[in-house]
Structure 1
Amino acid sequence: MTRSSADGMKVTVLGCSGSVPGPDSPASGYLVEADGYKLVLDLGHGTFGALQRYVDPAEVDAVVISHLHADHCIDLTAYVVALRYGGEGYRLRGPDRRIPLVGVPGTRDRLEAAYDPLARKLGLHELFAFATPTADELGPFRMSYAQVAHPTPTNAVRIEWQDRSLVYSGDTGACPALVELAEGADVLLCEASVAPDEDLVPDLHMTGRQAGEHAEKAGVERLIVTHVPPWNSPQVAADEAAAAFGGPVEIAAPAAEYWI
């Protein structure tokens, strides 16, 4: 059955491997769509290639970056090359057509350094309209953010459309701010990086059980575990989460589509 935006928000997984791209998945990246609006949420290693399966890069309406670790942002450098040098489907059209790029303070400097030390002279501001996160609207979406527990400034993101809501944890250790942001959400897309037999470093990443505990405390409807590195088992993370959360638990997979 063909579905449309009338059925809700559509989330397509561009990549979900934790920390590095894996043999079966790029690193973190998601495409969120409703009412014809296309929002890219994180753009880690390999995700720009996956993005092109679903949308012309020039037709993306906005990009939101949770934080500046490479597995969540480094493919912005590929995006710059495509927008600057690509042909039809890659070139921005219109006299003031720039893609809003929302990220923590320092996002532009990080992109300039990763792309080319001379990038400031190459005019990245002509491609992206840089902004810091604020509770505001992006197209049809109501956006809100919470700083979570990670070594570099990192935002969890809540995206609301009509009466539907998606919360993305970004990278985080156990964090009350994530529970508060996710309260009552339809879906929590939550990292579960740490295996049960690994040392748990505070304020870095979470286990599957902790992802389930956060979902349970927030009272969300569904939990999707993500950001499991290739040396760990997504199924173990999901089983751990299910032991702590009373609702449905799913495992993010590359190219998977979720309707919210």
Structure 2
Amino acid sequence: MKITVIGYWGGYPGPDGATSAYLLEEEDVKVLLDCGSGAVSKLQKYIETADLDALILTHYHHDHVADVGVLQYSRVVDMNLERSTRPLKIYGHTGDPEGFQRLGKEPYAIAEAYDPAGVLTIGPFTFTFQETSHPAVCYAIKVESSVSGKSFVYTGDTTYNKKLVPLMKGSELLIAEASFYDGQEAEKYGHMTSSEAARLAAAGEVEKLLLSHLPHFGEHKDLVTEAEKHFSGEVALAYEGLENEIK
């Protein structure tokens, strides 16, 4: 299973960047987790839009869904040019009915509701969910490969929340938001600091922590230094094009 970082900024994209978006690939199946601002432009460096099988969304804040409409248009073009015969499946939750309704553009993009208490299967991937602590209804996602049996967890947006720990058990990687530096008031805004992300990774006993949803201030390398004080595994910063292979 390969995970490629497409966008990693929080709030809005930095110059020539994109906000939250992560590409999963296994056995020719390609799934995008979140589709923030600038994501579709960046995605095309790695795959053709016509080859994308599905999009799964954690929640409907703009920095996670801003390019959903753009992705819908890409499938309109791809199907009309006969580069694809399949509508794009876009999966979201119904905790925000208006947000969910915007996901579909039939017959080119089909909105599908995932059951947060159930399991979603797409090709070799299984997805399970846990609600986070955030102003908008948001779900962390665990992704497991039936090929390798390996898994990783993506927090979406959240404050420090111990309810996420059981979801993380047995996973090799945690992609965690780190919107603030140690000591700042992250909880007030529904987010985590670097040290809180690290404490979550330590409690979940993962092997590697990837810090993402990064702030537009400070020195990002300090996020790693702060996280390493609370987590003994590998800590890395997300950047566009970063690949994580889980075998």
TM-score computed with the length of structure 1 as normaliser: 0.86
Alignment of 1:32-181 (within 5 A): 32-85=24-77, 91-93=83-85, 97-105=86-94, 109-110=98-99, 124-134=105-115, 135-161=119-145, 162-181=148-167
The answer to whether the 8 Å contact 1:56/1:89 transfers is: no
In structure 1, the partner of 2:175 is: 189
How far apart, CA to CA, are the structure 1 residues paired with 2:136 and 2:125? Answer: 26
Gapped runs of 5+ residues in structure 1? 1-8, 116-122
CA distance in 2, matches of 1:230, 1:181: 29
2:141–2:154 Cα contact (<8 Å) kept: yes
**1:254 matched to which residue of 2?**
240
CA contact (8 A) 2:78 2:84 kept: no
8 A contact 2:88–2:109 mirrored in 1: yes
- CA–CA distance in structure 2, aligned partners of residues 198 and 168 of structure 1: 22
Contact 2:132 2:140 in 1 (8 A): yes
Q: Secondary structure at the match of 1:58?
A: helix
Alpha-carbon displacement from aligned partner over 1:156-179 (angstroms, at most 9, x marks no partner): 000001321110000000112221
Equivalent residue for 2:201, pick from 191, 215, 222: 215
The 3 A distance-change label for structure 1 pair 184 and 86 is: closer
Which amino acid is 1:128 matched to? Answer: A
Distance in structure 1 (CA, Å) of the matches to 2:175 and 2:215? 15
Does the 8 Å contact 1:216/1:245 carry over to 2? yes
SS at match of 2:174: strand
More moved, 226-235 vs 203-212: 226-235
1:90 deviates by 7.8
1:80-131 residue CA offsets vs partner (Å, 9 max, x unmatched): 22222358878531xxx22221112167843766x9xxxxxxx713122322
Kindly indicate whether the alpha-carbon contact (under 8 Å) linking 2:132 and 2:158 is maintained by their aligned counterparts in 1: yes
Structure 2 Cα separation of the partners of residues 11 and 51 of structure 1: 12
TM-score, structure 2 normalization? 0.90
Q: Work out whether residues 39 and 61 of structure 1, in 8 Å CA contact, stay in contact via their aligned partners in 2.
A: yes
Provide the residue aligned with 2:22 in structure 1: 30
**SS of structure 2 residue aligned to 1:190:** strand
Render the CA deviation track for 1:117-151: whole Å, top value 9, x for unaligned: xxxxxx71312232222313111011101000000
The 2-side partners of 1:232 and 1:163 are apart by: 38
Indicate the SS of the match to 1:172: coil
Residues 139, 21 of structure 1: alpha-carbon distance in 2 compared, 3 angstrom cutoff: same
Taking only the aligned residue pairs, the percentage that are identical comes to 31
Cα distance in structure 2, aligned partners of 1:216 and 1:105: 31
Determine helix, strand or coil for the equivalent of 1:124: coil
Instruction: Check whether the contact 1:184–1:219 (CA below 8 A) recurs between aligned residues.
Output: yes
Cα deviation, residue 197, structure 1:
4.9
Q: Report the Cα distance in structure 1 between the residues aligned to 2:112 and 2:16, rounded to whole angstroms.
A: 33
Q: Assess, with a 3 A threshold, how the Cα gap between structure 1 residues 29 and 75 changes in structure 2: closer, same or farther.
A: same
State the secondary structure of the residue aligned to 2:9: coil
**3-state SS of the aligned residue for 1:71?**
helix
CA distance in 1 between counterparts of 2:192 and 2:13 reads 19
Q: CA RMSD in A?
A: 2.2
Determine helix, strand or coil for the equivalent of 1:125.
coil
- Mapped to 2, the partners of 1:68 and 1:242 lie a distance apart of 31
